[in-house]
Every structure is written in structure tokens, then in C-alpha cells.
């Protein structure tokens, strides 16, 4: 949607029309970004610094990844709903010599993404990595319960929010012929199960979306990594129903993800045992699988 | 059909492929486009940097997260008068376009860089020097007039005596006061397509610098190769190439040698192997041992002092002789550290630097010396003395140690009253910049920037590194 018309057009030249697009959400007045704040120091050949966005960095895996990536030299934009928690995390990272800046953002406000993305890229001084961690798990409360509202919320946050962010990012990285996208999906997306159809659906959709992006972008030199965590010792674990085997701390998952990022892998399970568990589950015949209760 | 700005997102790098930066790249074809880009940047809160062919060794044409104006579309030679030698060009014209236009008429650009691929806009922003800096100064001294678009929307015309403060600040000003749109320059008259070169070896650093000092007055151009791997009594040994333009009548085949076909740089080695593949063969030798062997071999071959003639293109554009040679440095790329020192302190400082690099196991892989004189441009790098440019290979393993070494180099250069060149060094800090430029110069530059660019639209990674 083209809503911003430039004063420059008084020159009678249409050159910039080609470059103006969905920069501002309809109805919002464009505000220049605040360039008075400190930006990360420019990278140099001997002090390289990559720039990354973590969507959903307030707690759990997002926060653990922020700490890990900061240690690995990334300047980070931390996005999430809780500005207080993000600022606390940002202060911690900045105090340890890294660079992180907090941005309050609700991923279900899709229309704000293009402007915020442009702002973050300007303030970070470029973009090399986007990690989409944001996710919710709202189980219906039993295998005979249904909740469209919960399902809708999960699809909005887990899938459409990811698409809202990764669509422009994919476009940018394809153009740049560089960059890395990491999407946090779940083992729950590998098979539809009785416990939480909405969650399974949102994660299966995300897994497929990431695979499609990977198939589009690999030829352009962009790496797309799908992360499939099993159980993690985070707040989301409370939503899990029944046993939670092989649960790992988010720091361990962050280490696994970083190793996979370095190797530019396509898919990684964390903990790694889930690869074999899910292989078995994926190959379980339907006439058996539909009789199971997990 | 509107195109999303996201689809202009681009990863750019420096000449040495040792630094990458992502930005929105907008191609401009005319002056009005630059103004529109400034308006867009102001609207979106983005910064702007102009970029030519992107051949700076550092971050001069990188603008992470902002807009980079691709100036290579503004590449028309607007007027050329073979009678007076005055040429007016758009700023995206390369030195290659320029010399190929003027050379058949008996003229040559008065100052050229080691590669012919640079644009005039970039040459002015860095105020490049050539192998004749001690004699004719930097390129800015040969500019009769230029026009530039300021971020305010004003199109200014500057000449040595018109807007003189801006003239002397925008040339050397890193493109941070405005974007050059046209350049008018006076070419140098030549009487032959050949140049006479005297080559002789020098046994050590003292001999090298004395040769530059003593023989510069007798030659139009002088440059030294320095064996950066030699130690002890041979430290600083190398070879001098000093050249003179031929006088009228000295070349009996002047009409023939002035033809463009005579200036052609061969693209094949021994007439067979494409030179663009050479860097693959060079790569295995680009390590400390291999470079020691290459330098030693080169010095032995240089022991035969001789005089010969070669084309202007061959003499001036050594960096173009092997296409993509910088890729032979491998994945981490290369950086260059160039220091300018007064003739009184140069020998001691460079002796200390070369010995330090050997002790740390981080020898430079290529060293080049030149003779210089001061100039009147605001952010000048020149001194009455010499420069030494040293290329270093960058690897994942040596980054931290190399950074520490270059910090030591900065300290040595500053204590010797030296200066730095903003198209080369990639690690110079804001503190070092202020130390060699002086508070007064920095304040004057910032005051001019405030006047030309009140909203701070023009920024590059280099500017943020050295002025913020």
C-alpha cells in the first residue's frame, strides 16, 4: 500500500516512486527514527560485528539466544511484548560489553512490522540475522475440549506473526544475496496429535513456511534454519499436558541452535534425541497413532 | 509498477573483501535523483552515502542500515576540449573512461590511483594522490570547478576561489558535506604513449627513503616497493621505480604509441592463461612462508638495475594488472595500513613498525613507499615526507592480534607526527583521528557539516567510526 508521497516529487521526477511502498501503516503519520541514540559501533575488518533481530526475546529461549548471540559478537535488537524484561536483558548485555536495544512489540500487530523493521535495521546499522522465537501454547484443556479463540491466537502469534516478519526479511535477504533466518518451530509440528490441534497446526504451518522460504532463498545464498525443540524448561512448559521427557534448559537449546547456525544447517532438533523420537512418531501408522492419547 | 524498498537491500563490501555491510542501494542517473533520495532519507530517518565503484580499502562507501547512492550511472563525459585539456565529467565517470578519452589526444589525468576503476567522485572525496604527489599534489589541486548537491537541496558550485572553504573541505571531505555531481579538471599534456622508467634496488630502509628523497626532484613519478619480510640489515630493502614523461621528439613512434591499442593491459599471461584465474594460483602462496619466498625472489630479480619504457597504463595501474588479485588473500580478505610520516621521523618509525610486525609473527605481505608534500585541503593526509602502505591478510585467527598490532602502529605514527589516509586504514579510531587532525580542524569540519547538512543525512560507516 503506497501511502507516503514525497515532497521530492515536486521535481517532477518519478524516480523515487519506484522506491516507496508499504513503508508506513495506513493512518499512522511517518515519524523519523531517533538517530540521536547510540548505535552499535561500526564493524571493522578486525572487529567484525553482525547485526541480528530476535523477535520474542523477553524470556525463555529468546533471552537465552540473545545472551548467546551477544557473546558471539552480534549487535541485537530485542523485540517482545514486555519492554521492562527486554530492557533488563538489554542492560545486562550492554553491561557485559555487547550491544542490545529493546523494542516493545506485539507480533499480532502485523501492520506495524514493515515500519518497525526499517527502524531496527537503521538503528542497528544493517541486518544479517533474524530469529523468530515468539510463540504461545494455549491448550484447549483436554482432548474433548475445543477453543477457536485459543487456536486463532496461536496461529496468529506462532505462524502469521512469523510470516509478517519473515516476508519482508526474506525479500531483503534475497535482494542482498546474504543473511540468515532462524525460525523456532517445534516437534509438535511434525504430527497432528489429540492434545492441542491448534498448536500442532501453527507449528506445522511454520515448519512448512520455513521450508518453502529455504527452498526459495538457498539459491540466493540465504540460510534458513528450522529449529524443532522438544520440551524446554521455560514458562511454556507449564502448558504441556502429561509427562515432559528430555526437557532441557533454554541455554542448552541456544547452544545447539548456535552450532547449527554456524554450520548453516537446514533443520535442527534440540535436544538431538528428538530427531529419532520424531522419526518414529512420523512413521507410526495412522491406525495406531489415532488411538494414542498424547 | 512500484518496487518495495526492501528489494533494494544489498550487501556491499570493501575493496579487500574484508568488511561487509548491508544497506538500501538506490541507483541515481541524474542530479535530481540525488535530491529525491535526500528527501526520502529525511522522510524515513535514514542516512545517505554516495558510492562509486566501491574500491576504498575501508568503510568509506559503506552505510550499514541506510541508503547508499550508486553513482556509477552518472558516468557521462560532458565536455572535452583537446585544445585546452579541460574536461567536464559527471562524478560517476571512472579514471578508465577519462584516460581513454583524453590519451589519444595527447593528454593524461594529472593524478591517478593505482587502479583505473575508481570514480572521480570517490577520488575527490578521498582526495587521492598518485606517484607524483610530491610534485603536483593530490587530485584536488587539478580541479578547476565542481558542482555538488547538498542535503539541503542546494546545488553548489565550488572552485579554488569560489566557495573556497567548501572547495577545500568537500575535496577530502569523505562525501560527508555533499554529493559531487560534476567535476571540471585540467589534464596534463603528454608527448608519447610511453613513459621512461628507471628501476634500481635499494639495500635497506635508509637507502630506500634516501632514494625517494634524492631522486624525486629528477623524476615526474617515483614509487618504491618494500620487502616487508626482510629483517636485520636488509630491513626495508626493495626497489625504486622512478619515471619521466617523454619529451617532444623522444618517441619516434609517438603517433602509434598514443593509440589506445598501445595502452592495452593484456588479459592473458604468456598469451594463454586468462589473468582473471591467476588469483586462484596465487592463493596457496599467500601465507608467511610463501610471501617471504615471493618477496625474496622479487628482490633478487630486482638486483639488475635497468631503464625501460612502458605504456602509461602499465606504469600507473599496477593494481589492474592481475584482475581480482585481492581475492588471493582468501576468505578473510585484506586490509591496508598506510601511514604518512615527516621525512625526519619516517625511518625510525617504520623500522620500529616493521620489527614489531616481525616479532608478532604478523608480517605485511606487500609494502609500497611514496614521496609526498603537504596540501591545503581540510582533511589532508599529506606531509612533507613519505608514506608506507602495508597490506595485511585477515584471518579468523589473526584478527585480535592484528588489531593490537595496528593500535601499536597508530601510537608510533602519532608520536612521529604522522597522519593517515581515510581511503585506506580501516581501524583508525575517533581518538586517533582527532589526535592527528587536531581539534581545530575537526571543529571546522563539523561546523561546515552543520551548515551543509543540518539534518545529518550524510553518514557513512567511516564517518561514524572516526567522527562519532
Interface of B with A in 341-360 (CB under 8 A): none
CB pairs under 8 A between A and B: 166
Looking at per-residue pLDDT, the higher value among B26 and A13 belongs to B26
Contact (CB<8Å) A46/B8: no
Residue-wise pLDDT for A89-121, tens only, equals 999 999 999 999 999 999 999 999 999 999 999
Q: Is A28 among the domain residues?
A: no
Chain A contact for B119, CB < 8 A? no
Q: Could you tell me the end-to-end alpha-carbon distance of chain B, in angstroms, rounded to an integer?
A: 40
CATH number of the domain where residue A263 is located? 3.40.50.720
How confident is the model at residue B151, as a pLDDT? 96
Contact yes or no for A33 and B46 at CB 8 A: yes
Residues of B in contact with A119 (CB under 8 A): 45
Q: Do A122 and B47 touch (CB under 8 A)?
A: yes
Domain contains A7: no
A57-90 pLDDT, tens digit each: 998 999 999 999 999 999 999 999 999 999 999 9
* pLDDT of A133 strictly over 70: yes
* Mean per-residue pLDDT over chain A, rounded: 87
Q: Could you tell me if residue A47 is inside a domain? A: no
The tens-digit pLDDT sequence of chain B (468 residues) is 444 689 999 999 999 999 999 999 999 999 999 999 999 999 889 999 999 999 999 999 999 999 999 999 999 999 999 999 999 999 999 999 999 999 999 999 999 999 999 999 999 999 999 999 999 999 999 999 999 999 999 999 999 999 999 999 999 999 999 999 999 999 999 999 999 999 999 999 999 999 999 999 999 999 999 999 999 999 999 999 999 999 999 999 999 999 999 988 877 777 778 888 888 888 899 999 999 999 999 999 999 999 999 999 999 998 998 888 999 999 999 999 999 999 999 999 999 999 999 999 999 999 999 999 999 999 999 999 999 999 999 999 999 999 999 999 999 999 999 999 999 999 999 999 999 999 999 999 999 999 999 999 999 999 999 998
* B274-325 per-position pLDDT tens digit: 888 888 888 899 999 999 999 999 999 999 999 999 999 999 998 998 888 9
- pLDDT value at residue A241: 64
pLDDT at B16: 96
Determine, yes or no, domain membership for A39: no
Name the residue among A6, A125, A168 with its Cβ closest to that of B64. A125
Q: CB count, 10 Å around CB of A278?
A: 18
Nearest CA in chain A to B462: A42
Q: Is the pLDDT of residue A251 over 80?
A: yes
Q: Is residue A19 part of a domain?
A: no
Considering CB atoms only, which of A11, A171, A176 is closest to B4?
A171
Give A4→chain B minimum CA distance, Å: 9
Q: Which of A274, A267, A177, A253 is nearest to A216 (CA)?
A: A177
Fold of B5-70+449-467: 3.30.43
- Residues of chain B found within 8 Å of residue A165, distances taken between Cβ atoms: none
Counted domains in chain A: 1
**ipTM score for this prediction:** 0.90
User: What's the gap in Å between the CA of B375 and the closest CA on chain A?
Assistant: 29
CATH 3.30.465.10 domain locations along chain B: 73-189
- A265 has a pLDDT exceeding 80: yes
What pLDDT sits at residue A246? Answer: 83
How crowded is the C-beta side of B104, counted as CA atoms within 13 Å?
Answer: 9
**Any CB–CB contact under 8 A between B393 and chain A?**
no
Q: Does B4 sit within 8 Å of A119, measured CB to CB?
A: no
Residue keyed to cell 628482490: B299
Chain A positions in Cβ-Cβ contact with residue B20 (cut-off 8 Å): 178
Q: What is the pLDDT at residue B177? A: 98
**Which H, E and C letters describe chain B, residue by residue?**
CCCCHHHHEEEEECCCCCCEEEEEEEECCCHHHHHHHHHHHHHHCCCEEEECCCCCCCCCCCCCCCEEEEHHHCCCEEEEECCCCEEEEECCCEHHHHHHHHHHHCEECCCCCCCCCCEHHHHHHHCCCCCCHHHHCCHHHHEEEEEEECCCCCEEEEECCECHHHHHHHCCCCCCCCEEEEEEEECEECCCCEEEEEEEEECCHHHHHHHHHHHHHHCCEEEEEECCCCCHHHCCCEEEEEEEECCCCCCCCHHHHCCHHHHCCCCEECCCEEHHHHHHHHHHHCCHHHHHHHHHHHHHHHCCCEEEEEEHHHHHCHHHCCCCHHHHHCCCCEEEEEEEEECCCHHHHHHHHHHHHHHCCCCCCEEEEEEECCCCCCCCCCCCEEEEEEEEECCCCCHHHHHHHHHHHHHHHHHCCCEECCCCCCCCCHHHHHHHHCHHHHHHHHHHHHHHCCCCCECCHHHHHHHC
User: Residue A35 — pLDDT band, cuts 50, 70, 90?
Assistant: low
Note the pLDDT of residue A12: 33
Q: State the architecture of B194-432 in CATH terms.
A: 2-Layer Sandwich (3.30)
Tell me which long-range contacts A28-32 makes (C-beta under 8 A, separation of at least 24): A28/A115, A30/A4, A30/A115, A30/B43, A30/B44, A31/B45, A32/B42, A32/B43, A32/B44, A32/B45
What's the domain range around A184? 55-289
Please give the residue of chain A at the shortest CA–CA distance from B396: A46
Q: Considering the domain boundaries, does residue A118 fall inside one? A: yes
Closest in A15, A125, A177 to B33, CB measured: A15
Q: Do A11 and B35 touch (CB under 8 A)?
A: yes
Which candidate in A132, A199, A209, A269 is catalytic? Answer: A199
Asked whether residue A203 is assigned to any structural domain, the reply reads: yes
**Whether pLDDT at A20 is above 70:** no
Which residue from A18, A35, A126 is facing B21, i.e. has the nearest CB? A126
Residue A127 lies in a domain: yes
pLDDT of the residue at A19: 43
Q: What is the pLDDT of residue B114?
A: 95
Instruction: Give the pLDDT confidence score for residue A290 in this predicted structure.
Output: 87
Supply the pLDDT for residue A18: 41
Which pLDDT score is estimated for B272?
79
pLDDT above 70 covers a percentage of chain A that reads 86
**A37: pLDDT strictly greater than 70:** no
Cα-based torsion angle of the residue sequence A67, A70, A74, A76 in order, rounded to the nearest 10 degrees: 60
Q: Does B394 touch chain A (CB under 8 A)?
A: yes
Q: What is the pLDDT of residue B340?
A: 98
Distance CA A58, CA B266 (A): 60
A115 given a catalytic annotation: no
Q: What is the pLDDT of residues A139-158, one digit of tens each?
A: 888 888 999 999 999 999 99
CB of B149 less than 8 A from some CB of A? no
What CATH code is assigned to B73-189? 3.30.465.10
CB-closest option in A126, A172, A179 to B64:
A126
Please indicate whether, in this complex, the C-beta atoms of B19 and A178 are within 8 angstroms of each other: no
- In this predicted structure, what is the pLDDT of residue B267? 79
Amino acid at each position: 500500500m503506497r501511502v507516503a508521497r514525497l515532497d521530492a516529487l515536486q521535481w517532477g521526477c518519478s524516480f523515487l516512486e519506484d522506491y516507496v511502498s508499504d513503508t508506513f501503516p495506513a493512518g499512522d503519520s511517518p515519524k523519523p527514527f531517533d538517530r540521536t541514540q547510540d548505535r552499535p559501533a561500526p564493524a571493522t575488518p578486525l572487529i567484525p560485528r553482525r547485526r541480528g533481530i530476535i523477535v520474542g526475546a523477553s524470556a525463555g529461549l529468546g533471552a537465552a539466544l540473545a545472551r548467546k548471540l551477544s557473546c558471539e559478537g552480534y549487535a541485537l535488537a530485542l523485540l517482545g511484548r514486555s519492554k521492562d524484561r527486554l530492557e533488563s536483558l538489554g542492560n545486562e548485555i550492554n553491561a557485559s560489553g555487547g550491544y542490545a536495544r529493546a523494542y516493545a512489540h506485539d507480533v499480532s500487530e502485523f501492520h506495524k512490522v514493515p515500519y518497525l523493521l526499517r527502524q531496527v535495521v537503521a538503528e542497528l546499522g544493517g541486518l544479517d540475522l533474524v530469529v523468530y522465537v515468539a510463540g504461545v501454547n494455549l491448550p484447549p484443556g483436554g482432548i474433548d475440549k475445543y477453543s477457536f479463540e485459543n487456536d486463532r491466537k496461536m496461529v496468529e502469534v506462532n505462524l502469521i506473526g512469523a510470516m509478517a516478519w519473515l516476508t519482508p526479511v526474506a525479500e531483503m535477504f534475497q535482494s542482498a544475496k546474504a543473511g540468515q533466518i532462524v525460525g523456532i518451530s517445534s516437534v509438535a509440528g511434525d504430527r497432528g496429535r489429540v492434545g492441542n490441534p491448534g498448536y500442532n497446526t501453527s507449528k506445522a504451518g511454520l515448519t512448512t513456511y520455513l521450508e518453502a522460504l529455504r527452498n526459495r532463498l538457498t539459491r540466493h545464498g540465504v540460510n534458513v534454519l528450522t529449529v524443532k525443540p522438544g520440551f524446554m524448561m521455560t514458562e511454556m512448559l507449564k502448558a504441556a499436558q502429561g509427562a515432559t521427557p528430555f526437557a532441557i534448559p533454554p541455554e542448552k537449546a541456544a547452544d545447539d541452535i548456535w552450532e547449527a547456525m554456524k554450520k548453516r544447517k537446514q533443520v535442527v532438533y534440540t535436544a538431538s534425541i528428538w530427531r529419532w523420537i520424531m522419526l518414529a512418531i512420523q512413521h507410526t501408522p495412522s491406525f495406531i497413532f489415532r488411538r494414542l492419547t498424547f | 509498477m512500484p518496487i518495495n524498498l526492501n528489494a533494494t537491500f544489498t550487501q556491499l563490501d570493501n575493496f579487500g573483501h574484508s568488511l561487509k555491510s548491508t544497506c538500501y542501494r538506490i541507483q541515481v542517473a541524474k542530479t535530481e535523483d540525488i535530491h529525491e533520495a535526500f528527501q526520502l532519507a529525511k522522510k524515513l530517518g535514514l542516512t545517505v552515502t554516495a558510492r562509486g565503484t566501491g574500491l576504498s580499502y575501508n568503510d568509506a562507501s559503506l552505510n550499514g542500515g541506510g541508503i547508499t547512492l550508486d553513482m556509477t550511472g552518472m558516468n557521462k563525459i560532458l565536455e572535452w576540449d583537446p585544445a585546452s585539456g579541460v574536461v567536464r565529467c559527471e562524478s560517476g565517470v571512472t579514471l578508465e573512461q577519462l584516460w581513454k578519452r583524453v590519451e589519444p589526444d595527447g593528454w593524461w589525468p594529472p593524478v591517478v590511483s593505482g587502479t583505473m576503476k575508481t570514480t572521480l567522485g570517490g577520488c575527490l572525496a578521498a582526495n587521492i594522490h598518485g606517484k607524483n604527489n610530491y610534485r603536483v599534489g593530490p587530485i584536488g589541486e587539478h580541479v578547476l570547478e565542481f558542482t555538488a548537491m547538498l542535503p539541503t537541496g542546494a546545488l553548489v558550485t565550488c572552485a579554488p576561489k569560489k566557495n573556497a572553504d567548501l572547495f577545500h573541505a568537500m575535496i577530502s571531505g569523505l562525501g560527508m558535506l555533499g554529493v559531487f555531481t560534476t567535476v571540471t579538471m585540467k589534464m596534463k599534456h603528454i608527448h608519447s604513449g610511453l613513459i621512461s622508467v628507471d628501476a634500481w634496488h635499494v639495500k635497506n630502509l635508509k637507502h630506500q627513503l634516501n632514494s625517494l628523497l634524492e631522486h624525486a626532484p629528477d623524476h615526474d613519478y617515483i614509487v618504491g616497493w618494500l620487502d616487508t619480510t626482510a629483517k636485520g640489515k636488509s630491513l626495508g630493502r626493495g626497489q625504486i621505480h622512478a619515471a619521466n614523461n617523454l619529451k617532444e621528439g623522444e618517441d619516434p613512434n609517438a603517433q602509434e604509441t598514443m593509440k589506445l591499442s598501445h595502452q592495452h593491459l593484456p588479459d592473458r599471461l604468456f598469451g594463454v592463461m586468462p589473468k582473471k584465474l591467476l588469483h586462484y594460483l596465487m592463493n596457496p602462496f599467500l601465507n608467511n612462508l610463501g610471501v617471504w619466498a615471493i618477496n625474496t625472489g622479487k628482490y633478487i630479480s630486482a638486483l639488475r638495475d635497468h631503464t625501460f619504457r612502458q605504456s602509461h597504463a602499465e606504469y600507473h595501474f599496477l593494481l589492474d594488472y592481475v584482475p581480482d588479485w585481492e581475492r588471493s588473500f582468501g576468505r578473510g580478505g585484506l586490509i591496508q595500513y598506510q601511514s604518512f610520516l615527516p621525512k625526519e621521523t619516517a625511518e625510525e618509525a617504520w623500522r620500529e613498525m616493521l620489527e614489531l610486525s616481525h616479532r608478532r609473527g604478523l608480517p605485511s605481505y606487500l609494502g609500497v613507499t611514496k614521496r609526498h608534500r603537504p596540501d591545503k585541503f581540510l582533511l589532508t593526509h599529506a606531509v612533507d615526507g613519505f608514506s608506507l602502505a602495508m597490506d595485511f591478510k585477515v584471518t579468523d585467527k589473526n584478527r585480535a592480534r592484528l588489531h593490537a598490532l595496528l593500535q601499536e602502529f597508530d601510537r608510533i605514527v602519532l608520536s612521529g607526527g604522522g597522519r593517515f589516509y581515510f581511503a585506506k586504514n580501516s581501524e583508525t579510531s575517533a581518538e586517533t583521528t582527532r589526535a592527528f587532525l587536531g581539534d581545530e580542524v575537526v571543529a571546522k569540519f563539523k561546523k561546515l557539516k552543520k551548515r551543509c547538512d543540518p539534518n545529518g543525512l550524510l553518514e557513512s560507516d567511516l564517518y561514524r567510526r572516526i567522527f562519532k
